[in-house]
Amino acid sequence: KPVGDAFDELNALTAEIVSLKATLNLNDKSYSVERDKGIGRMALKEKIVNSERKKSFTIKSEIEAFKQEQQNLKEMKEELQKKLHAIR
């Protein structure tokens, strides 16, 4: 993959993190609404925590994949440099 793709991935990841932070703030506000519907405080808290854990896990695996992609790009670059030196 070209380096541009890696930057696109990083930008997408950054946007997702921003969106997750917004969701967290939203969860704080929606708590009182949910409570009025009769959902217990602990049950709702658990629901939010589980949802955030899932998102956090997804982000972590995406970051790992991105790091792996970066490593692959570095190795590709080194290979190309070796070939270039061999030609010279």
pLDDT in tens, 57-85: 888 888 888 888 888 888 998 988 898 88
Domain count along the chain: 1
Contact 59, 17 (CB under 8 A): yes
Taking only the tens place, the pLDDT of each residue in 15-52 is 877 777 676 665 555 555 555 555 566 676 777 777 87
d(CA 87, CA 3): 24
Instruction: Quote the tokens at residue 51.
Output: 């949802």
The residue range of the domain holding 26 is 3-87
User: What are residue 60's phi and psi, to 5 degrees?
Assistant: -60, -45
Query: Is residue 24 within 8 Å of 56, Cβ to Cβ?
Result: no
